[in-house]
């Protein structure tokens, strides 16, 4: 009896100590958990990769739509966005990703959070929103009941004109006597000089004095090295140049003080002063503000209570020297991560006499005057400056000092531009030739021309989706 009890106790002890079956269950559970984690990792990685592809095509679509929004209709912007989307048959479609556009998108928007006015676009909008979706098939997650996963991506982009790449911009304005004549063009109807200054004001409303989003650019101070009025961390700095050049720097304030008056000019080889305003960024007190009427630059272009730059004339027309001076100033004012741009507005008819040039034996002879301007502009372009030319009432004949080869004022202004896309012509201005038309940029009216130049100097950019 006692032996039987002793054997039962031993058997029970052995059974309690034998854990081999339980260990096998634990190992199997661990393997299943590891396989589940691996399966989840594979499907998660697949979803993440698909989302990255979808997001990239969504952003590309938004930027494509925004890049045409400033000058096109809403339908054009939507078409451009769709064309660059990831949906079937379009430029960013992926064979492994069956993307579709979410119903109701792309959408054009008028946002108050960016500086570009909606009225500047035919679409009455300044941004576009794109939203795409795709269905990603599951692989291992099917065992958990998930056969597919739906992903969405959204991107918002502001139109060109809402943000700028930093630029140093030199504007050269013709202030010869002909600019006092009236422009009977229905697009302006004032003196040619006032029409030109109004166009420059449009440009200043497009450029950015300081980074986007600041409620104030801060107080502008005079740069002791350049004499420009600049805020801290300026974005676009703008300088103003005129020809004929002034006799000395003491004459310069007459072009931007109120009341303004005609400054004294000098011939083109007597050390003329072409710079009226050094490169400045005080033309607006923030990226969303109107023009700052306390700015000397704004005053000079007629944006304050007085007329600004006058057209004293007296020296004929010659502008190669002004181009050289503006380019030299651009190089001297060069800032890191910025680009230089030069804009010249004139009828292009360089015809200064020998007396007005200061004699033949000089830096700028009174021969080949139009070709001298072309050479000066080409040198600037070769140095990396983007050169825009605006032919304002250019005629089909002139450039009387250019005989080998002969050239017209219109041809001169066209060849001054860095590329055909940088040449504009207001051929509807009084006295202008109807044949002087820019094939690449067939817009007319100085306001529209300067608006397009401003858009050229800006880029469409992605903005936060919560801007909507």
| Residue pLDDT, tens place only, 99-156 | 999 999 999 999 887 767 787 678 889 899 999 999 988 776 666 667 788 999 999 9
Which residues sit opposite 392 in a β-bridge? 426
SS3 content of the chain, % helix, strand, coil (to 5): 35, 20, 45
- Which of 197, 297, 323 has its CA nearest to residue 240? 297
Last residue of a domain, one of 158, 189, 222: 158
Do 325 and 227 lie in one domain? The reply is yes
Q: What b/e string do you get for 114-153 counting C-beta neighbours within 10 Å, with b at 16 or more? A: bbbebebbebebbbbbbbbbbebebebbeeeeeeebebeb
12, part of any domain: no
- Number of structural domains found in the chain: 2
In this structure, are residues 460 and 157 in contact, taking their beta carbons and an 8 Å threshold? yes
Do 32 and 176 lie in one domain? The reply is no
- Residues 372, 374, 377, 383: is their CA dihedral positive or negative? negative
- Which of 320, 317, 315, 313 has its CA nearest to residue 399? 317
210's CB contacts (< 8 A; 6+ apart) are: 217, 218, 231, 232, 233, 234, 235, 281, 286, 287
Do 187 and 67 lie in one domain? The reply is no
Helical packing angle, 192-206 and 446-456, nearest 10°: 30
Do 197 and 251 lie in one domain? The reply is yes
Q: How many CB atoms lie within 10 A of CB 383?
A: 11
Q: Is the pLDDT of residue 42 over 60?
A: yes
Q: What b/e string do you get for 232-248 counting C-beta neighbours within 10 Å, with b at 16 or more? A: eebbbbbbbbbbbbbbe
In this structure, are residues 245 and 273 in contact, taking their beta carbons and an 8 Å threshold? yes
Q: Which two tokens stand for residue 65?
A: 């739509």
Do 118 and 182 lie in one domain? The reply is no
Q: Strands 221-222 and 229-230: what pairing?
A: antiparallel
Do 216 and 330 lie in one domain? The reply is yes
Cβ-in-10-Å burial (0-12, 13-18, 19+) of 467 comes to middle
Question: How far is 426 from 422, CA to CA, in rounded Å?
Answer: 13
Q: Is the pLDDT of residue 353 over 80?
A: yes
293, part of any domain: yes
Percent of the chain with pLDDT over 70: 87
Last residue of a domain, one of 125, 158, 191: 158
9, part of any domain: no
Q: Is the pLDDT of residue 250 over 70?
A: yes
pLDDT band at 68 (very low <50, low <70, confident <90, very high): confident
Range of the domain at 51: 21-158
Q: Where are the alpha helices (DSSP H) in 158-308?
A: 192-206, 296-300
Do 252 and 133 lie in one domain? The reply is no
462 backbone φψ class: left, alpha, beta (φ>0; ψ -120 to 50): beta
In this structure, are residues 449 and 426 in contact, taking their beta carbons and an 8 Å threshold? yes
Do 383 and 240 lie in one domain? The reply is yes
Q: Which two tokens stand for residue 259?
A: 């009341």
- Residue 25: C-alpha distances to residues 5, 17, 31 (Å): 32, 16, 10
The pLDDT of residue 141: 65
Q: What is the mean pLDDT of residues 295-314?
A: 91
User: In this structure, what CATH number is given to the domain that contains residue 324?
Assistant: 3.40.50.410
- Which of 80, 144, 141, 126 has its CA nearest to residue 106? 80
In this structure, are residues 62 and 467 in contact, taking their beta carbons and an 8 Å threshold? no
Do 354 and 274 lie in one domain? The reply is yes
The pLDDT of residue 32: 63
217, part of any domain: yes
235, part of any domain: yes
Question: How far is 268 from 94, CA to CA, in rounded Å?
Answer: 62
Q: Is the pLDDT of residue 446 over 60?
A: yes
Mean of the per-residue pLDDT values of the chain: 87
8, part of any domain: no
pLDDT band at 183 (very low <50, low <70, confident <90, very high): confident
pTM summary value = 0.72
Last residue of a domain, one of 158, 176, 199: 158
Q: What is the mean pLDDT of residues 287-307?
A: 91
Q: Is the pLDDT of residue 274 over 90?
A: yes
Q: Is the pLDDT of residue 98 over 80?
A: yes
Do 411 and 282 lie in one domain? The reply is yes
- Residue 104: C-alpha distances to residues 25, 78, 303 (Å): 54, 11, 42
The pLDDT of residue 53: 92
210, part of any domain: yes
Question: How far is 399 from 349, CA to CA, in rounded Å?
Answer: 5
Question: How far is 49 from 55, CA to CA, in rounded Å?
Answer: 10
Q: What is the mean pLDDT of residues 6-30?
A: 59
Percent of the chain with pLDDT over 90: 56
Q: What is the mean pLDDT of residues 427-448?
A: 86
């Amino acid at each position: 009896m006692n032996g039987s009890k002793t054997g039962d106790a031993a058997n029970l002890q052995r059974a309690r100590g034998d854990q081999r079956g339980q260990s096998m269950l634990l190992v199997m559970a661990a393997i299943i958990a590891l396989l589940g984690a691996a399966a989840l990792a594979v499907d998660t990685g697949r979803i993440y990769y698909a989302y990255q592809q979808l997001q990239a095509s969504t952003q590309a679509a938004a930027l494509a739509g925004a890049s045409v929004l400033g000058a096109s209709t809403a339908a054009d912007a939507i078409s451009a966005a769709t064309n660059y989307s990831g949906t079937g048959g379009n430029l960013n479609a992926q064979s492994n990703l069956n993307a579709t556009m979410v119903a109701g998108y792309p959408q054009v928007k008028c946002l108050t959070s960016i500086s570009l006015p909606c009225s500047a676009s035919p679409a009455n909008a300044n941004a576009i929103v794109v939203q795409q979706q795709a269905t990603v098939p599951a692989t291992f997650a099917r065992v958990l009941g998930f056969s597919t996963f739906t992903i969405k991506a959204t991107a918002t982009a502001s139109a060109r004109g809402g943000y700028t790449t930093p630029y140093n911009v030199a504007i050269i304005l013709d202030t010869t006597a002909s600019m006092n004549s009236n422009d009977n063009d229905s697009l302006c109807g004032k003196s040619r000089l006032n029409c030109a200054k109004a166009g420059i004001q449009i440009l200043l409303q497009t450029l950015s004095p300081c980074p986007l989003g600041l409620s104030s650019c801060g107080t502008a101070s005079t740069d002791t090295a350049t004499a420009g009025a600049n805020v801290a961390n300026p974005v676009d700095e703008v300088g103003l140049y005129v020809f004929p050049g002034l006799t000395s720097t003491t004459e310069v304030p007459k072009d931007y003080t109120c009341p303004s008056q005609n400054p004294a000019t000098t011939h083109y080889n007597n050390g003329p002063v072409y710079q009226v305003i050094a490169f400045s960024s005080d033309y607006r007190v923030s990226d969303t503000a109107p023009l700052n009427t306390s700015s000397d630059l704004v005053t000079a272009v007629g944006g304050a209570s007085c007329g600004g730059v006058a057209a004293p004339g007296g020296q004929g027309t010659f502008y190669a020297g002004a181009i050289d001076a503006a380019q030299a100033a651009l190089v001297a004012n060069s800032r890191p991560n910025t680009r230089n741009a030069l804009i010249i507005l004139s009828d292009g008819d360089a015809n200064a006499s020998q007396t007005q040039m200061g004699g033949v034996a000089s830096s700028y002879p009174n021969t080949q005057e139009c070709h001298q301007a072309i050479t000066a502009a080409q040198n600037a372009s070769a140095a990396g400056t983007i050169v825009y030319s605006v032919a304002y009432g250019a005629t089909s004949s002139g450039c009387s000092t250019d005989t080998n080869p002969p050239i017209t004022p219109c041809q001169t202004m066209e060849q001054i531009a860095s590329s055909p896309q940088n040449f504009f012509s207001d051929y509807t201005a009084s006295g202008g030739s109807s044949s002087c038309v820019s094939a690449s940029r067939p817009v007319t009216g100085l306001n529209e021309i300067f608006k397009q130049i401003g858009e050229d100097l800006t880029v469409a950019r992605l903005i936060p989706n919560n801007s909507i």
